[in-house]
């Protein structure tokens, strides 16, 4: 059995792709009511989680690549009727509860945000991984740690999405 060689770009893309496939699976077959279901008034819906993790991917990918966020450059903020700088971080319970974009917009944005960060990561030169970028205002981190944070955030939120999906549809949905 040979040794598998994988670079950091491939590893991160594989993790991002895996989380995205779970998003597609989790949304498949849900009604709009199920997509926006909140178990309590102060918890997130599947729809909000899909949007938030997509916004975070988009924002961090743009920071790393120097390209504009697709949320802004492709008019998604306007389609959603939301502020260009909103990512979901710090959203209130009221903002989460009122989050109800149409399914095609939600999943369309998740798709373009996913493709944008995958393109960004695929093109990173090895030396770029060590360069600092702003993770949060005033918080500079090497690119590789920002990307590990994005992967971790995606994994965390996909777990929440899958848990909600199981609550909604019962055991054995996948």
- CA separation for the pair 85, 48 (Å, rounded): 16
Bridge-partner residues for 132, per DSSP?
Answer: 142
The pLDDT of residue 59 is above 80: yes
Q: What pLDDT does 104 receive?
A: 95
% of the chain exceeding 70 in pLDDT: 94
Q: Which two tokens stand for residue 43?
A: 């918890």
Q: Mean pLDDT score of the chain, rounded to an integer?
A: 93
pLDDT band for 110, please (50, 70, 90 cuts). very high
Q: Which residue, among 136, 98, 131, 114, has the nearest Cα to 17 in the 3D structure? A: 114
The pLDDT of residue 43 is above 60: yes
Bridge-partner residues for 141, per DSSP?
Answer: 133
Q: Which domains does the chain have, with CATH numbers?
A: 8-169 (1.20.120.450)
Q: What pLDDT does 136 receive?
A: 87
pLDDT, average across residues 12-20: 96
pLDDT, average across residues 145-162: 96
pLDDT band for 4, please (50, 70, 90 cuts). low
Q: What pLDDT does 174 receive?
A: 56
CB 95 within 8 A of CB 81: no
Question: With left for phi above 0 and alpha for psi between -120 and 50, is residue 171 left, alpha or beta?
Answer: beta
What b/e sequence results for 9-44 when a residue is b if at least 16 CB atoms lie within 10 Å of its CB, and e otherwise? beebbebbeebbebbeebbeebeeebbbbbeeeeeb
Q: What pLDDT does 16 receive?
A: 97
pLDDT band for 1, please (50, 70, 90 cuts). low
pLDDT band for 170, please (50, 70, 90 cuts). confident
The pLDDT of residue 25 is above 60: yes
| pTM (2 d.p.) | 0.93
């Amino acid at each position: 059995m040979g040794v598998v060689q994988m670079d950091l770009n491939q590893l991160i893309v594989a993790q991002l792709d895996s989380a995205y496939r779970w998003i597609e699976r989790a949304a498949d077959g849900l009604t709009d009511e199920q997509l926006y279901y909140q178990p309590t008034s102060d918890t997130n819906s599947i729809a909000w989680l899909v949007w938030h993790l997509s916004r975070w991917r988009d924002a961090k990918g743009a920071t790393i690549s120097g390209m504009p966020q697709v949320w802004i450059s492709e008019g998604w903020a306007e389609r959603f009727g939301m502020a260009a700088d909103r990512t979901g971080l710090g959203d209130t319970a009221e903002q989460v509860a009122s989050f109800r974009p149409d399914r095609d917009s939600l999943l369309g944005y998740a798709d373009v945000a996913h493709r944008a960060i995958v393109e960004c990561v695929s093109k990173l030169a090895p030396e770029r991984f060590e360069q600092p970028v702003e993770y949060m205002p005033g918080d500079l981190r090497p690119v590789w740690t920002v990307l590990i944070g994005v992967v971790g955030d995606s994994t965390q939120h996909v777990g929440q999405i899958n848990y909600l999906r199981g609550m909604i549809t019962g055991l054995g949905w996948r």
